[in-house]
């Protein structure tokens, strides 16, 4: 019989919003994939390290480099033992392609150092502005990862939510309840100190990513040879004297069984026009022609009297919701959608979706 007191593990679980069964009880979920999954994710993340270092160097204006990562399967308790007392967590869950839990964890001192580099300040506090800066850093890191993951898996629907940062005691850090994949990086910020960074993938998203990576890297299956099941060709069949009795004798000569047919799916030709060699050469002649590219935040329609009544401080409501992708247009034609980012105090846009030719045709006809 229990005396009613909660153990420290149960207290930590309640504070983190996870069920106590996830702390290793009988209802705990199974671990993510085995060493093969860990290796697939480690190889994929290792291939992004150079791009991540370049992105962070450009954002901070200082030579910054990533080392690693070291990927392993951990439980919540195992990771908490490696973390300092206070951490900055940045949630960036995947919501399409490979949906599931995904986050970055900075030690508090590392989070301050990164925010200070971004804001060009010293002795920075982790206030709301600093949290926003760290969210933007993670947004850039995730963007590079999504690009690489799309190339490696062929999945073009991968997307993540806008990162949310919080500076909290490690006991209340938002971590998956079951076992998960954790990638540990060494971060060199050029300040002579050793910094660490952890990236966490929930069990479901890590298993899905590893499966897609392994499937893409698997060798192609050996083609099946067309023909009859026993390998006999038509010349090996008995002579047929006629369409009636001759056919019957032929079937009996084969043991009374029909050969197994080799059924294959029909391959239809692509309906999209393919450029000829001459057309491809002609396109090369206009590659250096400038075109106007614009990013449209939204639109609205107003009466002339409403427009004439505008003045300083007037607020114009647009037809897009907050957080909705903005339109990217070339010569006033929609070609892509994206999300607004800030780079060195300048606005930019990261492409999140390329509009298909059929959609563009429908837009032009509308």
Beta bridge partner(s), residue 200: 103, 182
- Domain span at residue 139 reads 8-217
DSSP conformation letters of 321-332: -TTPPEEEEETT
Q: Do both 110 and 194 map to the same domain?
A: yes
Write the CATH number for 213. 3.40.1550.10
Candidates 11, 194, 16; CA nearest to 107 is 194
Query: Is residue 270 assigned to a domain?
Result: no
- Contact predicate 36/73, CB 8 Å: no
Q: Which of 170, 194, 217 is the last residue of a domain?
A: 217
Query: Is residue 55 assigned to a domain?
Result: yes
What are the φ and ψ backbone dihedral angles of 48, each rounded to 5 degrees? Answer: -100, -5
- Measured CA to CA, the distance from residue 298 to residue 317 in angstroms comes to 9
Query: Is residue 156 assigned to a domain?
Result: yes
- 192 pLDDT above the threshold of 60: yes
DSSP conformation letters of 89-156: EEE--EEESS-B-EEEEEEHHHHHHHHHHHHT-SS----HHHHHHHHHHHHHHHHHHHHHHHHHH--T
Query: Is residue 139 assigned to a domain?
Result: yes
- Which sign does the torsion angle of CA 186, 187, 188, 191 carry? negative
For residue 128, the tally of other CB atoms under 10 A from its CB is 8
For residue 223, name the pLDDT band (cuts at 50, 70, 90): low
Please give the pLDDT value at position 236. 47
For residue 119, name the pLDDT band (cuts at 50, 70, 90): confident
Q: Do both 19 and 128 map to the same domain?
A: yes
The reported pTM is 0.54
Q: Do both 295 and 210 map to the same domain?
A: no
**What's the number of domains the chain is made of?**
2
Q: Do both 40 and 143 map to the same domain?
A: yes
């Amino acid at each position: 019989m229990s005396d009613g007191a909660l153990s420290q593990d149960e207290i930590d679980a309640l504070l983190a919003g996870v069920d106590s069964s996830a702390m290793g009880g009988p209802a705990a979920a199974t671990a993510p994939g085995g060493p093969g999954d860990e290796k697939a994710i480690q190889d994929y993340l290792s291939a992004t390290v150079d791009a991540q270092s370049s992105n962070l160097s450009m954002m901070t204006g200082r030579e910054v480099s990533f080392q690693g990562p070291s990927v392993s399967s951990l439980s919540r308790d195992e990771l908490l033992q490696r973390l300092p007392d206070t951490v900055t967590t940045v949630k960036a869950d995947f919501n399409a392609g490979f949906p599931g839990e995904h986050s970055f964890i900075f030690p508090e001192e590392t989070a301050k150092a990164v925010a200070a580099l971004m804001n060009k300040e010293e002795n920075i506090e982790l206030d709301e502005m600093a949290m926003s800066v760290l969210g933007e850093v993670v947004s850039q890191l995730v963007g590079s990862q999504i690009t690489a993951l799309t190339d490696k898996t062929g999945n073009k629907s991968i997307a993540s939510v806008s990162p949310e940062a919080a500076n909290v005691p490690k006991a209340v850090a938002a971590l998956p309840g079951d076992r998960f994949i954790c990638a540990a990086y060494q971060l060199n910020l050029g300040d002579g100190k050793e910094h660490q960074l952890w990236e966490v993938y929930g069990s479901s998203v890590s298993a899905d990513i590893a499966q897609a990576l392994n499937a893409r890297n698997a060798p192609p299956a050996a083609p099946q040879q067309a023909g009859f099941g026993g390998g006999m060709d038509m010349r090996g069949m008995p002579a047929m004297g006629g369409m009636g009795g001759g056919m019957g004798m032929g079937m009996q000569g084969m043991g009374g069984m029909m050969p197994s047919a080799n059924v294959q799916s029909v391959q239809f030709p692509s309906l999209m026009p393919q450029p000829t060699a001459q057309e491809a050469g002609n396109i090369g002649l206009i590659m250096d022609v400038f075109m106007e590219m614009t990013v449209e935040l939204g639109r609205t329609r107003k009466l002339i009297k409403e427009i004439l009544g505008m003045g300083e401080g007037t607020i114009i409501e647009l037809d897009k919701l907050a957080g909705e992708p903005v339109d990217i247009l070339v010569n006033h034609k929609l070609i892509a959608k994206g999300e607004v980012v800030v780079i060195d105090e300048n606005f930019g846009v990261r492409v999140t979706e390329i509009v298909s030719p059929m959609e563009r045709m429908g837009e032009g006809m509308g």
